[in-house]
A and B are shown apart, each in its own frame.
Chain A
Amino acid sequence: TQLLEQSPQFLSIQEGENLTVYCNSSSVFSSLQWYRQEPGEGPVLLVTVVTGGEVKKLKRLTFQFGDARKDSSLHITAAQTGDTGLYLCAGPNYNNNDMRFGAGTRLTVKP
């Protein structure tokens, strides 16, 4: 089973600060995805990265896939209270039949 480790587990910052969260594995993934989950809701897909070294931007969010396709990072610039939530990374299992999720980073942005 390919494991995805996310760090930090918890992060609490003030509005306006920048932050980076990480998703690491010892296995190579064909792609990685990032989701955000808010309380009482299911995870919502933010981005899929496919190519090693790829960088994708979604407004204030920047996603990077490691060159070796074993890790990914999510950087948020000037965090807002609306960014609060659980950030999950996920990658296809070796048989490509399901996605395996990391434990997530729980982000709290305080006003």
Chain B
Amino acid sequence: DSGVTQTPKHLITATGQRVTLRCSPRSGDLSVYWYQQSLDQGLQFLIQYYNGEERAKGNILERFSAQQFPDLHSELNLSSLELGDSALYFCASARGEIWGYTFGSGTRLTVV
């Protein structure tokens, strides 16, 4: 157990639908990062939150959004889902860049 909890572990949904992925960071970590991993694209950075505030954006689509709540858990919202959104979505938390990330086990999203 890495200390980073992601739910659900698997999600199957239809095109056009909206889903919410949840992440609870490791105790004491203020930063939460979301990554998308697909076979052909590798790990792609989506967005970072630090202590409730958006800190950085990567290759995140406009159909996707995220937030971090006062208790530091974070949610990634994916809407108008397309087949190409099928991927593993990882959340990671960190105390600081130099110490590395702690990843959750991911949510496997399948859009049918």
Residues of chain A at the chain B interface (Cβ within 8 Å):
31, 33, 35, 40-45, 48, 50, 88, 90, 92-93, 95-104
B residues near A99, Cβ cutoff 8 Å: 33, 45, 97, 101
Residues of B within 8 A of A50 (CB): 98
CA A76 – CA B43 in complex, angstroms? 23
When A and B form their complex, what is the total count of cross-chain residue pairs whose Cβ atoms lie within 8 Å?
57
Could you say which residues of chain A place their CB within 8 Å of the CB of B110?
none
Chain B contact-residue range equals 20 to 34
Residue pair A31, B48 in contact (C-beta under 8 Å)? no
Q: A42-B90, A42-B104, A93-B45 are in contact. List 4 more A-B contacts (CB 8 A).
A: A41-B106, A43-B101, A97-B48, A102-B42
Q: Does B14 contact A (CB under 8 A)?
A: no
Known: A97-B55, A98-B45. A42 touches B103 (CB 8 A): yes
In the complex the two chains form, what is the Cα distance from A40 to B9 in whole Å? 10
In the assembly, what is the distance between CA of A104 and CA of B41, in Å? 11
Question: How long is the Cα–Cα vector from A96 to B106 in the complex, in angstroms?
Answer: 23
A88, B100: Cα distance in complex, Å: 13
